[in-house]
């Protein structure tokens, strides 16, 4: 299955998507709420008639708002970034390059780029409605995309170097499918709220909540989870009017104490980084749901 991909993000749930789809379809709900949306891997590929994307980290809501409302500007900025990196790597590997003159560097390429023009996407650029949440800053969105396309572990911190041959490849692939990504994102409601607030805002009979919270004990994100966050989530699951699917790391037994016995446990190939040994090649996920299977 070919999925739309935007960022290299730790904990992105591509392998789980077929199972999420199955439960969502069985729920007969018409609103999919991606409470811990992160890279958007699930919202981008769930094919829901109505989607609410949410994450508490404002860099992601800014990114998706920029794709929704300023696609032409962001597309041109990314194209310029890719061209600049290609030029830099050409200059770095050119044996005849005079290192004293240093021509062809990043600054020069940027100056020749034409931002915000030429793309068919700029034609669909529309102004955001006054009730859209979060700021919209395409320059910051470009930086988020570059960081999460070139970082090694998808943690958005370590930039790719010449040794990482694919440093520009991921961004090029994203640019190739940018139109399709925009086509999905333009229909989303984008929110930048804490999970407790988003639940209160959308809970109703036709709502389906997908919960993919941060992993306990792993500080991978700008916003992580404490035990009291998990306790609040467990409390919500007891009172929810809508349907839900929660996935957790099945190997973390401390979560069973809070959430009880899961509805289902499944094993998936580990796609987050190279497997160090046979045990690392598979990941067990536990699922909790109130949808009849």
Ligand X SMILES: C[S@@+](CC[C@H](N)C(=O)[O-])C[C@H]1O[C@@H](n2cnc3c(N)ncnc32)[C@H](O)[C@@H]1O
Write out the residues near ligand X by the rule CB under 6 A: 9, 11-13, 36, 38-39, 41-42, 55-57, 194-195, 212-214, 221, 223
Nearer to ligand X, 121 or 245 (CB): 245
Residue 81 beta carbon to ligand X: minimum distance, rounded to whole angstroms: 22
Secondary structure percentages of the chain, helix, strand, coil, to 5:
45, 15, 45
The per-residue b/e assignment along 196-224, b for 16 or more CB within 10 angstroms, e otherwise, is eebbeebbeeebbbbbbbbbbeeebbeee
Nearer to ligand X, 164 or 232 (CB): 232
Nearer to ligand X, 13 or 79 (CB): 13
- Tracing tokens 């446990």 back to the chain, one arrives at 265
Residue 275 beta carbon to ligand X: minimum distance, rounded to whole angstroms: 19
Give the three-state DSSP class for 205: coil
Residue 272 beta carbon to ligand X: minimum distance, rounded to whole angstroms: 10
Q: Which of 201, 82, 84, 75 is nearest to 138 (CA)?
A: 75
Nearer to ligand X, 55 or 76 (CB): 55
Residue 259 beta carbon to ligand X: minimum distance, rounded to whole angstroms: 16
Question: CA-based Rg of the chain, rounded to a whole angstrom?
Answer: 21
Residue 35 beta carbon to ligand X: minimum distance, rounded to whole angstroms: 6
Nearer to ligand X, 27 or 84 (CB): 27
Q: Which of 183, 188, 179, 178 is nearest to 133 (CA)?
A: 188
Give helix 58-69 / helix 71-93 axis angle, nearest 10°.
Answer: 110
C-alpha pair distances (Å), 244 with each of 48, 70, 207: 15, 32, 8
* DSSP at 213: P
Residue 253 beta carbon to ligand X: minimum distance, rounded to whole angstroms: 19
Nearer to ligand X, 12 or 121 (CB): 12
The residue whose Cβ lies closest to ligand X is: 38
């Amino acid at each position: 299955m070919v999925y739309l991909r935007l960022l290299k993000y730790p904990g992105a749930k591509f392998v789980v998507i077929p199972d999420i789809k199955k439960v969502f379809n069985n729920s007969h709900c018409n609103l999919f709420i991606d409470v811990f949306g992160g890279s958007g891997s699930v919202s981008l590929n769930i094919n829901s008639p109505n989607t609410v994307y949410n994450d508490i980290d404002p860099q992601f809501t800014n990114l998706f708002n920029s794709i929704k409302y300023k696609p032409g500007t962001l597309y041109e900025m990314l194209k310029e970034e890719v061209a600049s990196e290609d030029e830099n790597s050409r200059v770095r590997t050119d044996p005849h390059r005079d290192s004293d003159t240093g021509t062809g560097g990043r600054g020069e390429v940027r100056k020749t780029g034409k931002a915000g023009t030429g793309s068919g996407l700029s034609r669909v650029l529309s102004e955001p409605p006054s009730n859209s949440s979060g700021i919209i800053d395409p320059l910051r969105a470009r930086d988020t995309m570059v960081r999460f396309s070139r970082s090694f572990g998808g943690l958005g911190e370590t930039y790719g170097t010449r040794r990482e041959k694919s440093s520009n490849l991921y961004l090029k692939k994203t640019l190739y499918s940018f139109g399709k990504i925009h086509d999905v994102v333009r229909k989303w409601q984008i929110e930048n709220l804490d999970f407790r607030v988003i639940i209160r805002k959308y809970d109703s009979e036709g709502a389906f909540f997908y919960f993919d919270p941060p992993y306990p004990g792993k500080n991978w994100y700008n916003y992580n989870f404490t035990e009291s966050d998990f306790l609040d989530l467990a409390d919500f699951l007891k009172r929810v009017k809508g349907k839900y699917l929660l996935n957790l790391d099945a190997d973390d037994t401390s979560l069973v104490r809070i959430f009880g016995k899961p509805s289902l446990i499944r094993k998936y190939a580990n796609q987050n980084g190279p497997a160090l040994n046979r045990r690392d090649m598979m990941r067990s996920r536990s699922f909790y749901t109130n949808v009849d299977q």
